[in-house]
Amino acid sequence: MNRQQFLQRFFLQPGKQSVLLQVEKSRAAAVLLVLREHEGELQLLLTKRSSDLRHHPGQISFPGGKIEANENSQQAALRETHEETGIAPEQLQLIGQLPGYATGTGFLIQPWIAFLTEEVELKLQASEVDSAFWLPLPFVFEPQNTHSEYFAMHGQSHLVHFMPYGPHLIWGATAAILYSLKQQLHF
């Protein structure tokens, strides 16, 4: 799948409604799914969170974080991506948004999608990001690369997605957002 095919699939599918867990006192957050076309293949940027962070240390995630009082979710996703990876907003073409996702840990995440408009050298913020890697998008669409299990949390059963990739285990909110992207693109 190339960039044009991605855009056609993304915009031709009817938008899905957000399926959100009801979590009291959710903390608003935004993430950015950064895509690039590299050697004819679409790739998605993922980061490994610093093991020193208070929330979700060491987990694989998208660039993103808390929405500040003076900004909307789009602005937060772009700001956090710039802070964490060095990718400036002017190096991105924002194309849309996926349904929001509420975590069992009290975060309400608004995912945005953007394409890189140029090749970039990542400048990772060491206090928040240990490393980053590019995940081939076709890997996300292969059914054998994802498995799901139900877990009890707060007295309810929740479906949790897992996607092992090399030395990385993508799971939780990140895997759920990738699953949402897969559904939006009708794979």
The CATH number covering residue 70 comes to 3.90.79.10
Q: How far apart are CA 124 and CA 122, in angstroms?
A: 6
Position 124 in a domain: yes
Position 26 in a domain: yes
Position 178 in a domain: no
- 166-181, pLDDT tens digit by residue? 999 998 899 999 999 9
What's phi and psi for 100, nearest 5 deg?
-65, 160
Encoding tokens for residue 62? 């998208």
What is the average pLDDT across 95-112? 88
> In this predicted model, which residue has the larger pLDDT, 104 or 13?
104
Number of other CB atoms surrounding residue 21 within 10 Å: 15
What's the length of the chain? 187
Instruction: Determine which of 89-93, 140-144, 175-179, 183-187 has the lowest per-residue pLDDT on average.
Output: 183-187
Q: How far apart are CA 99 and CA 15, in angstroms?
A: 8
Q: How far apart are CA 87 and CA 74, in angstroms?
A: 15
Residue type, 42: L
Position 148 in a domain: no
Q: Give bridge partners of residue 135 from the DSSP assignment.
A: 44
Query: What is the radius of gyration, based on Cα positions, of the chain?
Result: 16
SS3 content of the chain, % helix, strand, coil (to 5): 25, 40, 35
Position 54 in a domain: yes
Residue span of the structural domain in which 82 resides:
3-10+22-142
- 126-154, pLDDT tens digit by residue? 888 989 999 999 999 999 998 888 887 77
Position 169 in a domain: no
**Alpha helices for 23-114 (secondary structure H):** 73-85
Q: Model's pTM, two decimal places? A: 0.86
Q: How far apart are CA 135 and CA 41, in angstroms?
A: 10
Position 157 in a domain: no
The domain tally of the chain equals 1
C-alpha separations of 96 from 99, 110, 114, 163, 165 in Å? 10, 11, 7, 24, 26
Position 130 in a domain: yes
